[in-house]
Structure 1
Amino acid sequence: MNRFLIRRIPSALLVLFATSVLAFLLPRMAPGDPAAAVAGPDAGPEEIAAIRADLGFDEPWVSQYLHWLGGVLRGDFGTSYITGRSVTDLIGDRFGSTVQLALLAALFMITIGLLLGVAAGSSRRPWARSLLDLTCTTLLATPAFLTGLLLALLLGVAWQVLPVSGEVSLFDNAEIGIQYLLLPAFALALPQAASLARLIQSAMRQSRTEEYVQTAVAKGASARRVTVRHVLRNSLASALVSLGMRLGDLLGGAIVIEAIFARNGLGSLAVTSSAQRDYLVIEALILLAVGIAVLLQLLTEVGLSLLDPRIRLEGAR
């Protein structure tokens, strides 16, 4: 297992390095000047030039990147150009909100994905399979923001069952906080749950054609036992491969969902920072998102190697 992990660390570090380069370059290639945003609309060219020099924008990009990367390696992401606060503090203030949303959405995604996938993969009734296929296709074709708007209109405006905007931390009041989380988490989870269900369904259908399943059926094993002990167990390995990517997609989708439901998380911080050309905040958010995705993928591979020892043995060669 140790060798399996060690072999994957260099590729993870390479991804993070490439991400740091892109995170640094992309905001600077976008239109707009953060120095002008800091100076204000009434500032003249000389004031803007002075601010650019103070922020280090007059230096070559390579020097700026190396200076920024050195700070990142020390755990210092710099100071926001707009607010004057530490970037780490800004992200820390919003991180808990997004984590709460992502965790509940992940719980919904796994639960709904497993239920739909297993039902579609084990059902022998054509009409039931067609209905489940239609459900998954509809959920996949409907973007999260549209699902969020429909849920808000239906459950928040028409029936007024749940609140549709704002938030309350679960640590402050769990009962009220969960009410504010249900709609955005459900909207965020549905497309990913459909994707996971499709993968489980396809893997289960493929597993039923394998020899070990046919042998179990020939020995007189019940349909329930064959499904649980053989088909589903081996299909979960394929689902686990996709799970890391699905969890990463939840973080990306949280940006739009937080805007719809007026949550004060990393998504709203990303939108505000992009509009204000706050480079350091944008760079830190991109690096954080990719870092979490890389970590999730690494944990997924470890989990998959535990389910299938052949992968661990191949990775250790």
Structure 2
Amino acid sequence: MIIYILKKIVTFLFIICVLAQISFCLVYFVPQSIFSDLTFIDAYSAFFKQLLQGQFRLMSGETVPFFDTLLTTFELCILALLVALFIGIPLGIFLGLSNINWLNTTIRLGCLIFYSCPIVMLATLVMFYLSSTLPMSMNFDISISVTGSSLLDIILSSRADKLPALWEQLHYLLLPTIILAIQPSIVTIQLVSENVKNTSRQNYIKMAIIRERSPFKILRRHLLPNSIPSTIPQLTYNTTTLLFLTMVIEILFNRVGLGQWVMLAYRNHNYFIISIAILACGTVISLLTLLGEISAIAIYPLRHKEHYA
């Protein structure tokens, strides 16, 4: 298992290195590059020096915080994934085991309707109807942030009102997280229900039903350990869509992150920030995929044998 995890980490680092080379080429060869007065070797060294420091300085003197912006978007992605797992796994298990046809049809129809709704339209409607009860903007200033994550800043701070401040920040993050978690939740429900239904038809599950008296033990010992781990890697394939939706939510809710970053860069034709945004997006997608693979192996270590079959 350790060798498998190390291989995944090495693959992740290789992908980041390739994305960094692509980002450097976009920065160096575009017109009016900040490295235009440097040789290729000096520009290469300066670019990766700024990358390791996590701070990029533009021609205007503005400093672009790479890691802080990346962690801000990554925070919202993680919260949405946690909500999607919290909602999708129980409903998926229920749909996979339930024989109530009308209820299953109702849940699947609701999932289909919400999944087909554009995220921009859904977020706009929610903001219109809940603007008087829930905060619409993010109470977070990245310029004074220590870690780039609003929740981590509050947890690691030494302030006395840590719990009220944490609750207030979660209150700000509640609405965008719920909107962002709709489509991942639906995908989770579909994948979990399909895997649970296929696993429940296997012969070893039928033997467990004969031997075990408690349905809860069958579910806990045999059904879930053989169906849930196979679902987690499949969920990571949807990280590209999740990252795009996160950027859209950041723009709609005026939250600092990759979404605001790319929007300002596109408006000002700033190719430097666009190239760094490509690197940031690739890093988030690769990191979420890596965490999904490691989580699947941690839950069910024998799962990695399928990759060598």
Relative to the length of structure 2, the TM-score reads: 0.79
Spell out, residue by residue over 1:249-294, the C-alpha distance to the aligned partner (whole angstroms, 9 max, x if none): 4333211001111222332122112322333333333223322332
Change (3 A) 1:109 1:247: farther
Matched residue, 2:110: 135
Contact 1:196 1:242 in 2 (8 A): no
Change (3 A) 1:95 1:313: closer
Change (3 A) 1:264 1:220: closer
| Aligned pair partner of 1:293 in 285, 289, 296 | 285
**In the alignment, structure 1 residue 177 sits paired with structure 2 residue 152:** no
What amino acid is the match of 1:118?
I
* 1:148 positional shift: 1.3
Change (3 A) 1:203 1:315: closer
Gaps of 5+ in 2: 141-149, 155-161
Spell out, residue by residue over 1:217-267, the C-alpha distance to the aligned partner (whole angstroms, 9 max, x if none): 233534443333322232111221134344564333211001111222332
* 1:185 positional shift: 0.8
Counterpart Cα distance in 1 of 2:300 and 2:54: 40
Contact 1:80 1:278 in 2 (8 A): no
Spell out, residue by residue over 1:148-181, the C-alpha distance to the aligned partner (whole angstroms, 9 max, x if none): 112112222xxx2212234355538333322221
Contact 1:106 1:247 in 2 (8 A): no
| Aligned pair partner of 1:310 in 283, 302, 306 | 302
What amino acid is the match of 1:79?
R
**In the alignment, structure 1 residue 91 sits paired with structure 2 residue 66:** yes
Say which SS state the counterpart of residue 128 (structure 1) adopts.
helix
Contact 2:54 2:67 in 1 (8 A): no
Contact 1:199 1:238 in 2 (8 A): no
Matched residue, 2:180: 188
Counterpart Cα distance in 1 of 2:305 and 2:230: 18
Counterpart Cα distance in 2 of 1:71 and 1:282: 18
* 1:26 positional shift: 5.8
Matched residue, 2:2: 2
- The higher radius of gyration belongs to 1
Change (3 A) 1:295 1:185: same
**In the alignment, structure 1 residue 118 sits paired with structure 2 residue 93:** yes
* 1:67 positional shift: 4.5
Spell out, residue by residue over 1:181-234, the C-alpha distance to the aligned partner (whole angstroms, 9 max, x if none): 111111111101111111001101100111111112233534443333322232
Say which SS state the counterpart of residue 78 (structure 1) adopts.
strand
**In the alignment, structure 1 residue 201 sits paired with structure 2 residue 190:** no
Q: CA RMSD of the aligned region, Å?
A: 3.2
Instruction: Give the 5 Å matches for 1:1-317.
Output: 1-24=1-24, 35=32, 55-57=34-36, 66-67=44-45, 70-71=48-49, 74-75=52-53, 78-82=56-60, 84-87=61-64, 90-92=65-67, 94-95=69-70, 97-156=72-131, 160-168=132-140, 169=150, 171=154, 173-219=165-211, 221-246=213-238, 249-313=241-305
What amino acid is the match of 2:234?
S
Spell out, residue by residue over 1:48-97, the C-alpha distance to the aligned partner (whole angstroms, 9 max, x if none): xxxx6xx234779x768745654366446531234x2333xx33554554
Say which SS state the counterpart of residue 264 (structure 2) adopts.
helix
Aligned pair count reads 289
What amino acid is the match of 1:165?
S
Matched residue, 1:46: none
Change (3 A) 1:222 1:287: same
User: % of aligned pairs identical?
Assistant: 25
* 1:102 positional shift: 2.8
Relative to the length of structure 1, the TM-score reads: 0.77
Counterpart Cα distance in 2 of 1:129 and 1:220: 27
What amino acid is the match of 1:161?
T
Contact 1:144 1:190 in 2 (8 A): no
What amino acid is the match of 2:62?
R
What amino acid is the match of 1:86?
T
Contact 1:78 1:280 in 2 (8 A): no
What amino acid is the match of 2:100?
R
* 1:114 positional shift: 1.4
Say which SS state the counterpart of residue 232 (structure 1) adopts.
helix
